Amino acid sequence: MSLKITNAKRIEGLDSNVWIEFTKLAADPSVVNLGQGLPDISPPIYVKEKLSKIAAIDSLNQYTRGFGHPSLVKALACLYEKFYQNQINPNKEILVTVGAYGSLFNSIQGLIDEGDEVIIIMPFYDCYEPMVRMAGATPVFIPLRSKPVNGKKWSSSDWTLDPQELASKFNSKTKAIILNTPHNPIGKVYTKEELQVIADLCIKYDTLCISDEVYEWLVYTGNKHLKIATFPGMWERTITIGSAGKTFSVTGWKLGWSVGPHHLIKHLQTVQQNTIYTCATPLQEALAQAFWIDIKRMDDPECYFNSLPKELEVKRDRMIHLLENLGLKPIVPDGGYFIIADVSLLDADLSGMKDSNEPYDYKFVKWMTKNKKLSAIPVSAFCNTETKLQFEKFVRFCFIKKDSTLDAAEEIIKAWTGQKS
């Protein structure tokens, strides 16, 4: 008898995934991969050292506390208390999850219901939309818009939300807004004024804020990362999400966390005890130890929270320069480790690419990967179906790459520009 295999309705339409497609494309070792946000630089030595000692400690091979390994939640509480006005209870106000991805999932499953609306700012880290849909809720999109800029380098700060347009998206069904600062893919670091606009609306409409701050340490000169949860009236309605992967350049550890008031975190904890129950022990202990090293020296330039952005700012500037040489219009990011650039000026001949239904940037990236051996990610992957065209001229490049990778990218770009002239 054939199986009436019907999948649950919650995953209807959520099966495609841009990463699966594009990482496959970039897997060819001859391709210089500036696509997926994956550092190919080494994590700091002391992080690796902590981890290698851990395997020998027997107790760390067995289950730890479900909501977060005790030494890790203590370290996180100690770190984040420096930013908030209140003390943070490590057991009640912190949850350790499988990457920030897991925190997003727990937040949405715990707090978003069928029929709720959730505001998502476009372009958005691509999982926000399917996660909201999987919870049976309706995503409501609002794009970041850029003011035309003459005689000045195009910057991520030129991309803003129109306050009136934003206000029009809120109504009595709005359960939450998802904020991402520093922003992926544009690299925008929201200012105090911009966050105040969002906070005012959250309070007025009694809405939650899910603040994805995985790139919180990666802000460049002249910018400051601000936590919306520290604004008046916001602690009680905000979940702030962080990532070990992005903090210590260890994306493969898949550890993230949610920080917030207990009346919100307890629901994320309920999701946790019914989904994965607990995260891996050895990695949590190693992470705790790495945190203690850097927590003690936060004003020191050697602290990784300070040294990594310095290192990346140089790479950012180099990448901007390279993309400009190629004739692209890159947007200088104030934070994060991506740059988006308008590729339409290149007027590349994409006629050979099949599937003319795909947005321009999808075709461009596939063509560039195949013909130039350089990969990136199409920015329309970070848009919803209806608005893909708004961003289809943009392509995202990742610059948290070692110098030899950037050298290889430079070689490709030089040859490319050579061919053009």
Partner 1 sequence: MMRLEIRAEACPYLKFAMSKRLQARRLDGIDHNPWVEFGKMASEYDVVNLGQGFPDFPPPDFAIQAFQLALNSDFMLNQYTKAFGYPPLTKILASFFGKLLGQEIDPLKNVLVTVGAYGALFTAFQALVDEGDEVIIVEPFFDCYEPMTLMAGGRPVFVTLKPSPTQDGELDSASNWQLDPTELASKFTSRTKALILNTPNNPVGKVFSKAELELVASLCQQHDVICISDEVYQWLVYDGHQHISIASLPGMWERTLTIGSAGKSFSATGWKVGWALGPDSLMKHLRTVHQNTIYHCPTQGQAAVAQSFQHEQLHFGQPSSYFVQLPQAVQRYRDHMIRSLQSVGLKPVVPQGSYFLIADISDFKTQMPDLPGDADEPYDRRFVKWMIRNKGLAAIPVSVFYSTPHRKQFDHYVRFCFVKDESTLQAMDEKLQKWKDELRP
Q: Please, which residue, 116 or 334, has the CB nearer to partner 1?
A: 116
CA distances from 107 to 100, 103, 239 (A): 10, 6, 8
- Per the structure block, which two tokens stand in for 91? 């057991």
Whether residue 79 contacts residue 291, with contact meaning beta carbons closer than 8 Å, is answered with: yes
User: By rule CB under 8 A, what count of residues binds partner 1?
Assistant: 89
* Best CA proximity match to 368, nearest among 389, 400, 341, 338: 341
Residue at token pair 């409501």:
140
- Per the structure block, which two tokens stand in for 371? 């013909």
Q: Which of 80, 124, 253, 338 binds partner 1 (CB under 8 A)?
A: 253
- Per the structure block, which two tokens stand in for 420? 């053009």
> What is the C-alpha separation between 270 and 288, in angstroms, rounded?
23
In the complex, the smallest distance separating the C-beta of residue 22 from partner 1, rounded to whole angstroms, is 12
Stretch that binds partner 1, among 1-9, 143-151, 195-203, 326-334 (CB under 8 A): 1-9
Q: Please, which residue, 254 or 363, has the CB nearer to partner 1?
A: 254
Q: Which of 263, 297, 310, 420 binds partner 1 (CB under 8 A)?
A: 263
Q: Which of residues 112-141 bind partner 1 (CB under 8 A)?
A: 112-114, 127, 130-131, 134-135
Q: Which of residues 396-415 bind partner 1 (CB under 8 A)?
A: none
Q: Which of residues 16-75 bind partner 1 (CB under 8 A)?
A: 17, 19-20, 23, 36, 38-40, 42-43, 48, 51-52, 54-56, 58, 60-64, 66
Q: Please, which residue, 88 or 341, has the CB nearer to partner 1?
A: 88
Q: Which of residues 168-207 bind partner 1 (CB under 8 A)?
A: 172, 175, 206
3-class secondary structure per residue, 252-290: HHCCEEEECCHHHHHHHHHHHHCCCCCCCHHHHHHHHHH
Asked whether the CA dihedral 146, 17, 369, 347 is positive or negative, the reply is: negative
Whether residue 410 contacts residue 322, with contact meaning beta carbons closer than 8 Å, is answered with: yes
Helices (H), 60-184: 70-81, 99-111, 128-134, 163-169
Q: Which of residues 77-106 bind partner 1 (CB under 8 A)?
A: 81, 85-87, 98-99, 101-102, 105
Q: Please, which residue, 38 or 346, has the CB nearer to partner 1?
A: 38
Q: Please, which residue, 10 or 297, has the CB nearer to partner 1?
A: 10
Q: Please, which residue, 343 or 376, has the CB nearer to partner 1?
A: 376
Q: Please, which residue, 70 or 163, has the CB nearer to partner 1?
A: 70
DSSP state, residue 74: H
In the complex, the smallest distance separating the C-beta of residue 40 from partner 1, rounded to whole angstroms, is 7
Assess 15 for contact with partner 1 (CB under 8 A): yes
Residues 212-251 as x/- pattern, contact with partner 1 by CB under 8 A? -----------------------xxx-------x---xxx
Assess 147 for contact with partner 1 (CB under 8 A): no
Three-state secondary structure call for residue 403? helix
- Per the structure block, which two tokens stand in for 134? 């999987």
In the complex, the smallest distance separating the C-beta of residue 350 from partner 1, rounded to whole angstroms, is 28
Q: Please, which residue, 182 or 260, has the CB nearer to partner 1?
A: 260
Residue at token pair 């998802």:
178
Give 159's strand partners: 146
Stretch that binds partner 1, among 150-158, 259-267, 296-304, 374-382 (CB under 8 A): 259-267
> What is the C-alpha separation between 207 and 209, in angstroms, rounded?
7
Q: Which of 90, 143, 182, 261 binds partner 1 (CB under 8 A)?
A: 261
Helix (H) or strand (E) holding 94: strand 94-97
- Per the structure block, which two tokens stand in for 356? 């003319």
In the complex, the smallest distance separating the C-beta of residue 79 from partner 1, rounded to whole angstroms, is 15
In the complex, the smallest distance separating the C-beta of residue 198 from partner 1, rounded to whole angstroms, is 17
Whether residue 93 contacts residue 262, with contact meaning beta carbons closer than 8 Å, is answered with: yes
Q: Which of residues 276-335 bind partner 1 (CB under 8 A)?
A: 276-283
